[in-house]
Chain A
Amino acid sequence: DGGITQSPKYLFRKEGQNVTLSCEQNLNHDAMYWYRQDPGQGLRLIYYSQIVNDFQKGDIAEGYSVSREKKESFPLTVTSAQKNPTAFYLCASRVVRGTEAFFGQGTRLTVV
C-alpha cells in the first residue's frame, strides 16, 4: 500500500539525549514536511523539503535538524537544544505545490 510511515509510534527519551524520528513515503512525492502538535496549538511547521538535498526552516526550527538524502525519507532529529521536546510529531508529503498533503500516523515523543 502507498503511504507515509512514521516510526516509532511512541518514543521515550531521557532529557539531554538526541533522538531521531523516522518518516518514509512511497508515494513518489517531492515535498515533505514535519509538524509539531501540542494541545491547543494546532500544527506548527518545523522543517520542510521540496527536493532531495534541500530543505527550509519552518516556524519553529530551533532545536531540530533534518536531512533529505533520498526522496522517500525525511528524518527529523530532536536535539538536546530543544527546550520542550515532548509533543506529537507528524510527517506529511505532497506531490506538488497546491495539492493536498498526506500525513503519517505520527510519533508521540516523551522526554523524561
Chain B
Amino acid sequence: AQKVTQAQTEISVVEKEDVTLDCVYETRDTTYYLFWYKQPPSGELVFLIRRNSFDEQNEISGRYSWNFQKSTSSFNFTITASQVVDSAVYFCALSAPNRDDKIIFGKGTRLHILP
C-alpha cells in the first residue's frame, strides 16, 4: 500500500530561522513521483515541486530546498530564512503512475512563522 507520513503536525519558528518539514513515504513501486504543496489560509493548494524516483538530486529554489533520499524513503523540505508569508499548511504527496492514477497526500504540517 502507498502511504505518506508527515509526523510534524504543527511547527512554530521565529522569522528568519530555518525550518525543515519531514516527509516519509511508502510504496512498492520503483517508478513514483513525490510532490510538495503549500496551502495558505485561502485554501487553494499551490504546487511547489515534483520529483521522480530516479532523480535523487537535491533541489534549491530561492529560500526553498528539498532533500530526496531513497535509502530512507524521505523527501524533506527546508525553508531558509523563514518569513511570515511562509505560514501555511504544507502537504507532501505521492503518485505511482504504473499502479493507478491516485495522488496520496500526507496529513500536512501547519507552519507558523512568528514575527
Contact = CB atoms under 8 A, between A and B. Distances in A.
Contacts, number: 58
Contacts of A101: 35, 47, 103
A75 interface: no
Interface of A: 31, 33, 35, 40-45, 48, 50, 56, 58, 88, 90, 92, 94, 97-106, 108
Contact of A41 (B33, B43, B45, B107): B107
Secondary structure dominating the interface of A: strand
A42 B102 contact: no
Interface stretch (B59-67, B80-88, B93-101): B93-101
B91 A105 contact: no
How many chain B residues sit at the interface, stated as a range, is 20 to 34
B101 A40 contact: no
B106 A42 contact: yes
A82 B95 CA distance: 27
A33 B44 contact: no
Given A98-B95, A103-B44, 13 more contacts: A33-B103, A42-B91, A43-B108, A45-B103, A56-B101, A58-B102, A88-B43, A92-B103, A94-B103, A97-B101, A100-B50, A101-B47, A102-B47
B69 interface: no
